[in-house]
Structure 1
Amino acid sequence: MPVPVPRQRGVPVAETDRGSACAAGSSSGGDLTLLVIEDDPAGTFTVPELLDAAGTRVRIRTARNLTEAERLLTDDVHCILVDLALPGPGEEELAPLKHVLRLAPRHAVLALTTSGDAERAAEAVRVGAQDHLFRDELDGRLLSRAIRHAVERKRADTAQVKLAESRLRAQENARLERGLLPTPLLQGSDLRFAARYRPGRSRALLGGDFYDTVRTADGTVHAMIGDVCGHGPDEAALGVELRIAWRALTFAGLCGDELLSTLQQVLEHERESEEIFATLCTVDIAPDGRRAGLCLAGHPAPLIARHGRPAQLLPYDDNGPALGLLPRARWPRRQVELGAAWSLMMYTDGLIEGRRGPDAKQRLGQDGMVEMINRQLAAGLEGESLLEAAVSEVRDLNGGELTDDVAVLLLSRHGARR
């Protein structure tokens, strides 16, 4: 029996207008497009469009089977009305509806049946339809209202799903953050610790930079900072693996070349491509705090500031290659005299690769960074304040967000600037 949808007066809609229907939306009175899937040979929906009391124009397309529906299901369709009596694939209960839900997961879907089949109509909503309509009770006003409500309900459902996904991503990022940016283990040490991290990707929480600091049973403080090439979640995950491996190997007594050679094996086994590499800087500070061993694997040299003296880069001429570049590389360990009072700043290259000014083409570089840190030290900045000012100034000089990740770690001893 044909559904008694009253004929509405209106201007026929050209096919070229349909592409803008989706953008028009429904909450602000924009036009909607309904795709009807039903096999009534008499043509139940004989009008090209409806106009409801709110002024919303509903354009109607009809398909006699699921195959034709797939052809007519374009991006400008807002809602699909599925006849539950339609023949569907297989013997599955509500097979046509379930097929449409799989085919159009982002569209609002209404189920059409008879008032004598209320249980089936309710089941249609349970499996995913936004609402159901009874064929023998349907008129133009009810149909228009049901379409608008279904579209808004689908939008609300989609927003809820996105919110849940966002929360899950935040939880995953928090777990990654605990892996990349751990709490330092410095119990019993007189060294002070500070760190700052800023990812390079827009809206990202994490990148490929990582660091760690631990104190072993003999009183030695070990610190490292590293950078996996790239900025995505895969690089962040690899950074977590390298940091955890470094901590485990350090507690196992490895140091210098032996430690870095083992970390290279970890990298080679865990990376997705042979083109992936990582730079690393490791420092082991003697229990008396006056000297340290330094190893660099393709990484910029740390900066040291001794009390009453300008900050400068630690001299290091025998820098080993980045991890993952050469299969039998070596990383010599160099002894460095620190003195009685000092601050040691380790950083990734994101801190020095920004521009010297918004309109400048020249990179800040290590020399520019040293000048900047000395200005901030002269202004009395230290510890967390020093790192915050350094990262903020680098961003301001660059004229906006940096394209690379930035990690900075600061260790200080006995009242030195930190």
Structure 2
Amino acid sequence: MLLRGVVFSILLLAMNARADVAQQVFSQYQEALLEVQVVERQSQQKSSFGSGFYVAPELVVTNFHVIANYIHTPDSYQLIGKMGEDQQPLQVLAVDVVNDLALLQAPSHSGLLFDLAANLPEQGEAVFSLGNPHGLGMVVVPGTYNGLKKQSFYPRLHVTGSLNSGMSGGPSVNAAGQVVGVNVATRGNQVAFMVPLAELEKLLSQQPDSVPPVSDFTEQIRQQLIANQQQLLAPILESNWVMKALGRGQIPESIAPFLTCWGNTNSNQPKHELRSARASCALQEYIFISSDFFSGTLEMQFEWVDGNSLPLIKFNRHYAQRIAHTRSENPATPQDVSEFNCRSDIVALNPHPTRVVYCVRSYKNYEGLYDVVYAAATLATEQQGFISRFALSGVTQDSAEAFSRKFMETVVWQ
């Protein structure tokens, strides 16, 4: 009992110390925080909002997703910075759509500014996230720094802390009040993510001499998406895929460290007439372009099916239904993308006859970028079949064709 009491006392002291630091950080820096609002011009009502922070007398950092509506339709929205009861217009200087950052020009601020930390914290150190949760006013939330998120292509820092909607774009700081990252996302249950300091420094280095027209950001975003898909796919295309068996199919076991894979089967469930085993691999993040339009994704799905216990006609019906369940996970609208253009053919893949469906749709505002959906199903033999799928978003034609060749040559039925 004595030991338990000592441990409890130590924990209580640590919590009190962290609370004292949080209060000190907030009292020093709250005037360098502001609410970033996107306001619909006709109704003068908020369309979206988040947080921002001053890093220089006229420079504010926030998330791209906070201001996206304004970037896409500036005639319909205006960008406002709110500090207490004071509201002032903001202008966009630069964006980094891949890392969900934006740099804004704001009215001059003469008070204390946020400095950038020289280094990231050590794992286990305290960090403090500042922002405006649910529009309730600026707060500071203590948390624990857990390092770079593993299995992630888009760099994110993992923090144990309670981020909420509206805190997006606010700073996360160390005990000295120095910025170590930008609040960007939460998974709930005390799981939160920040954009790393290095990506913020890159954005600040892109500050232009004057405010560019909002229309210029379409091409800036296009170039960023093109560069991103090249960085994502190049190592995948150049590597030798490690393969494993799924039924009589050969599927990737290891392609890239940033892909997360799962598997399941219904073989232990007698109610299923068609036995199957499935595997899938995908990126866990995406690039936010708008609330209805995501990009920068890669996913692959594989399924082996066995219907030996079924009549042939019934097996073929079940198998055809499996093949039909192929779609893009990108919830884009007709405003953003064209209709999918699909072609289907029987192809000899090593050397089994296989039905291949290949669908492409183009991005309307970002020329030269496409979403691609591919599905291949062996022509069933011995009432068994093998289905493979992939979906890419935000890729060039050359990258899509190169990935398709690699996939078709590697993922085979034996």
TM-score bucket of the superposed structures, by smaller chain: under 0.3
- Structure with more strand by fraction: 2
